[in-house]
Amino acid sequence: MTVDSSFIVVDASASISTEMPSLNVSVGDDASFLCESDTPVNWQRQLFSSSAESERICYQGEIVKGYESEYSLDIDNTHKPWKYTLTVLSADKDDAGTYTCIENAGLGPGSVSANLTVYGKHSQMLLSLFAWGCFLGLTDVTELLDPVSIVP
pLDDT digits over 83-123, tens only?
A: 999 999 999 999 999 999 998 765 667 889 999 999 886 55
Q: pLDDT value at position 6?
A: 40
Is the model's pLDDT at 152 over the cut of 60? no
Residue 56 maps to a domain: yes
Band of pLDDT at residue 3, cut at 50, 70 and 90: very low
In this structure, is the dihedral angle defined by the CA atoms of residues 34, 90, 95 and 122, taken in order, positive or negative?
Answer: positive
Q: Counting Cβ atoms within 10 Å, is residue 58 exposed (0-12), middle (13-18) or buried (19+)?
A: buried
Is the model's pLDDT at 64 over the cut of 90? yes
Q: Comparing C-alpha atoms, which of 28, 26, 38 is closest to residue 103?
A: 38
Q: Comparing C-alpha atoms, which of 89, 96, 93, 111 is closest to residue 47?
A: 96
Global pTM? 0.70
Decide: helix, strand or coil at residue 111.
strand
Contact 116, 97 (CB under 8 A): yes
Residues 144 and 112 in one domain: no
Residues 79 and 93 in one domain: yes
Q: pLDDT value at position 51?
A: 79
Residues 71 and 143 in one domain: no
Residue percentage of the chain with pLDDT more than 70: 66
Q: Distance between CA 132 and CA 108 in Å, rounded?
A: 45
Q: pLDDT value at position 29?
A: 94
pLDDT digits over 19-52, tens only?
A: 889 999 999 999 999 999 888 899 999 988 877 7
Q: Comparing C-alpha atoms, which of 117, 99, 111, 109 is closest to residue 46?
A: 99
Which domain range does residue 66 map to? 23-119
CATH number, residue 88: 2.60.40.10
Q: pLDDT value at position 151?
A: 33
Identity of residue 27? V
Q: Which residue has the higher pLDDT, 147 or 109?
A: 109
C-alpha count within 13 angstroms, C-beta hemisphere, residue 59? 7
Contact 36, 82 (CB under 8 A): yes
Number of domains in the chain: 2
